[in-house]
Structure 1
Amino acid sequence: MFKQRNVVLLFVFAFLLSLFAACGDSGSSGDANSGNLTVWAMGAEGDNLKALADDFTKANPNIHVTVQAIPWSDAHSKLLTAVAGGQTPDVTLMGTTWMPEFAKMGALDTPPSDIDQNSFFPSTWSTTVYNGTSYGVPWYVDTRVLFYRTDIAQKAGITHAPQTWDELLADAKAMQQKGGAKYGINLGAKDWQELVPFIWQGGGDVYKDGKFTLNTPQTVQALSYYQSFFKQGLTPSSAPQNFDGIQAFVQGTHPMFISGSWNISAINQKSNGKLDGKWAVATLPKQNSMTSFVGGGDLAVFKNSSNKAAAWKFVKYLSQPDVQQKWYTIMQDMPAAKAAWDSGTLSTDKNMIVFRNQLNDAKAPPAIVKWQEVADSIDTNMEQVMLGKATPEQAAQSMQQNAESIGTGD
């Protein structure tokens, strides 16, 4: 028994030691001007990043960059496995809500001092920060604005985009009753990324000063306001299987929705240009503020990279305004670097100017390890309200209780 116990203890010790080695600062800085880099990127970004990597290699011929494209659906588990096994890439694209989890593990390097956080939108830089320390650099950003059909608005007697909560509700009614649309707006019954900005706009929050703050008058107000669109039949209570919200917008049945810039190209493609001049985007309507959600993707360098200096050089290259502008032409990913918006298409395109203005009032979800679990609870309770199975007060209380039970994981 004694020997068996010793064997078990030795195994546990060895396992913990291996994890420490994997997550610790075991890699050397290396040479900033040479070496081999492995970069993981997800989805379409992974499919297209090679174009920028090739440009980087032309300018830095002694640095070879290999880009591995990974589906978003596999990325989180693949990153966890890589960290546990000490076989990470040098650089990775990281979902903004994943940053706290990997930072807590000790797996990520901190940016060098010559990366200026003030060159990025404050809301995007905040997605890299965990417990007061940054563990990456914002690469691309997304935020949500209001898409609306100007032709249907005009038919309904609406002369400008809604600027307040009251105007948004009134415009939805007018588009349905006077504009001939089936609904006034398309809202999700189970989408925290749509609901939480209404909490922020009303002066509330979901997490502040180390505590969850979901059971508040501001959360009840946001739920009640959001619910009014469902109660009055201004948005569908549920979406049929394979529902295409963009097609519904193009057809005019759902003349408003809240979403990101990727839908601009989707609208143009589905309408074949027939909607040109008949739709627009606007910053979110205001209550106390017009705060929107901000997300996107961050770039992180792993601590156990054998060539961190070259890895950060590549990250800094991707952060250059001219490179970010080129990436926008390739992917339509909005730049996280503020200077990238000061010239070229991004400075003149009327739709992108709206997104730029919205980024001045946008906020990221709290940087806590278990945020996704908390968000799932918000979704569940939110849906109960929209289906009429719970009151806003009951849902806010349940959200708070669930969040406290889940904890932060920090």
Structure 2
Amino acid sequence: MKKRLLACACALVTAALPGLAGCGVLPGDEDSGSRTVTVWLMKGSVSDDFLTRFTTAYEKEHPGVELDVTFQEWTGIGKKVTAALKSDDAPDVIEVGNTQVTQYAETGLLYDLTLESVRDLGYTEWLPGLAAPGKVDGAQYGIPWYAANRVVIYHKDLFARAGITRPPATREQWLRDTAKLDDGPGGTQGIYLAGQDWYTLAGFVWDEGGELAVERDGKWRGALDSPAALRGMAVYQELQALGDGPEDADEENPPQAQVFAGGDVAQIIAPPSVASAVVERNPALKDKLGFFPIPGKTAGEPCAVFTGGSDLIIPRKSDDRAAAMDVVAALAGEKWQKDLARTMNYVPNKPSLADAVGGQEATAAMAAGAARGRATPNSPQWADVEAANPIKPYMTAVLRGESPESAAKTASARITALLRTDR
């Protein structure tokens, strides 16, 4: 989609995320001597209004530069981006998932943006959950763009009925409050937490000082069997018991929004966007939902959370690296970070910019958690771990009474095998 009205019409017909779908520049469309910067963004990442504001302002501030933006679908994006990186007609800027940067960097077809990021973009302030996955072997290939993470969504009426007047500030208080909210089988659930919500487990593992996997001497191994990781699983087990979540399914089976919409669940752990799905199913809950960061072990320091979101990369075959970097710097800079956060309810790429969403309860809660955000292990093979996902059966085994130590050793061994580069 381009700034021109032509692009808006085309986007309605060819809206596709990562791929070559979208509107291109028509023959004779460019002014003589102008430069076109091609940008791939993911479908749903920005609104048409935001894109219009950005392209209009950017092109006004950069005479002779035209932005050609196409939206891509997430489905199949990996193959499309990899093919684009190899082609002689690569886009100049590509939005990718923050945990995808490593696999693209491994191709050797990305620009190392270390100097640019260090010089202009305040890299020391970036959210770790976005910055760390974009850095491979000391080189910064992905520039953090925006973040999203899980928070606690709670039913205000159920909290009030239980005499809880404010969200808990610490994990200990949270567990006590959740126990108070739980009426047992057939009554109010203190929390609905599916047994295989492994992203939430990861946060507890990190909060205890553990890891899902660790790298030593260039080799990765699973680490769920460490004492710290086992403590994280114990927290999950205690919390999950304060509701009726299934032990052998994740948060999408059934969708936790559907369960929460029933009205007898006090809390779920989810991105704030899930609240819209809840209200859609039960409009009576529209003004009864609240949000707070997942509590950590001490007041004022939320639990570590998995940070989802996007980074921006520049292919080595970009026709104009300098122009591409100018676009990235604008998108990742303070002005447009604040605009994007307010428009899309995202977390900006720096905690210092979180005041942009200070008046939005859900996004502010998300931003507080994002300050302690983490990403999955920065191995190109981690996608194989997620595909096979030995973490899920490990969690079910523990919740059903199997020895945590034994189940964790089995899961860690499987993770180690999947992360081997010589398979």
TM-score over 0.5 for the pair: yes
| Cα distance in structure 1, aligned partners of 2:91 and 2:165 | 53
Question: How far has the Cα of 1:381 moved from its partner?
Answer: 2.8
Give runs of aligned pairs for residues 213-232 of structure 1, distance below 5 A: 213-231=223-241
- Give deviations 1:137-176, integer Å, cap 9, x for gaps: 1111112221212220121233332344444333333223
Provide the residue aligned with 2:267 in structure 1: 256
The DSSP-based 3-state class of the residue aligned with 1:318 is helix
Give runs of aligned pairs for residues 396-407 of structure 1, distance below 5 A: 396-407=408-419
8 Å CA contact 1:185–1:255 kept in 2: the answer is yes
- Give deviations 1:164-189, integer Å, cap 9, x for gaps: 44443333332231898542212232
8 Å CA contact 2:38–2:91 kept in 1: the answer is yes
Provide the residue aligned with 2:42 in structure 1: 42
Q: Say which of 245, 260, 263 aligns to 2:256.
A: 245
Identify if the C-alpha distance between structure 1 residues 321 and 402 changes in structure 2 by more than 3 Å, giving closer, same or farther.
Answer: same
The DSSP-based 3-state class of the residue aligned with 1:177 is coil
| Cα distance in structure 2, aligned partners of 1:409 and 1:312 | 32
**How large is the RMSD of aligned CA atoms in angstroms?**
3.0
Provide the residue aligned with 1:330 in structure 2: 343
Provide the residue aligned with 1:394 in structure 2: 406
Amino acid at match of 2:178: A
8 Å CA contact 1:103–1:130 kept in 2: the answer is yes
Amino acid at match of 1:331: M
Q: Does 1:348 align with 2:359?
A: yes
Q: Which has the higher helix share?
A: 1
| Cα distance in structure 1, aligned partners of 2:251 and 2:37 | 45
8 Å CA contact 2:191–2:242 kept in 1: the answer is no
- Give deviations 1:165-223, integer Å, cap 9, x for gaps: 44433333322318985422122322321111111122212234534322112222322
Provide the residue aligned with 2:120 in structure 1: 114
- Give deviations 1:257-299, integer Å, cap 9, x for gaps: 11223235445555547542x3322222224772122121001
Provide the residue aligned with 2:330 in structure 1: 317
Give runs of aligned pairs for residues 56-95 of structure 1, distance below 5 A: 56-95=58-97
Identify if the C-alpha distance between structure 1 residues 106 and 270 changes in structure 2 by more than 3 Å, giving closer, same or farther.
Answer: same
Identify if the C-alpha distance between structure 1 residues 350 and 184 changes in structure 2 by more than 3 Å, giving closer, same or farther.
Answer: same
| Cα distance in structure 2, aligned partners of 1:312 and 1:329 | 24
8 Å CA contact 1:40–1:46 kept in 2: the answer is no
The DSSP-based 3-state class of the residue aligned with 1:98 is helix
- Give deviations 1:83-120, integer Å, cap 9, x for gaps: 24444211100111111111121111122233320342
| Cα distance in structure 2, aligned partners of 1:79 and 1:168 | 43
Question: How far has the Cα of 1:316 moved from its partner?
Answer: 0.9
Aligned residue pairs total 375
8 Å CA contact 1:164–1:286 kept in 2: the answer is yes
Q: Say which of 394, 397, 409 aligns to 1:385.
A: 397
Q: Does 1:99 align with 2:110?
A: no
| Cα distance in structure 2, aligned partners of 1:46 and 1:327 | 8
Amino acid at match of 1:261: P
Identify if the C-alpha distance between structure 1 residues 399 and 125 changes in structure 2 by more than 3 Å, giving closer, same or farther.
Answer: same
| Cα distance in structure 1, aligned partners of 2:266 and 2:190 | 6
Identify if the C-alpha distance between structure 1 residues 305 and 259 changes in structure 2 by more than 3 Å, giving closer, same or farther.
Answer: same
Provide the residue aligned with 2:291 in structure 1: 281
| Cα distance in structure 2, aligned partners of 1:241 and 1:358 | 22
| Cα distance in structure 1, aligned partners of 2:399 and 2:355 | 45
The DSSP-based 3-state class of the residue aligned with 1:334 is coil
8 Å CA contact 2:171–2:297 kept in 1: the answer is yes
| Cα distance in structure 1, aligned partners of 2:139 and 2:398 | 38
Give runs of aligned pairs for residues 4-23 of structure 1, distance below 5 A: none
TM-score by length of 1: 0.81
Provide the residue aligned with 2:151 in structure 1: 145
Provide the residue aligned with 1:297 in structure 2: 310
The DSSP-based 3-state class of the residue aligned with 1:141 is strand
| Cα distance in structure 2, aligned partners of 1:47 and 1:397 | 45
Provide the residue aligned with 2:136 in structure 1: 130
> Which ranges in structure 1 are unaligned for 5 or more consecutive residues?
1-32
Provide the residue aligned with 1:367 in structure 2: 378
The DSSP-based 3-state class of the residue aligned with 1:79 is helix
TM-score by length of 2: 0.79
| Cα distance in structure 2, aligned partners of 1:189 and 1:359 | 24
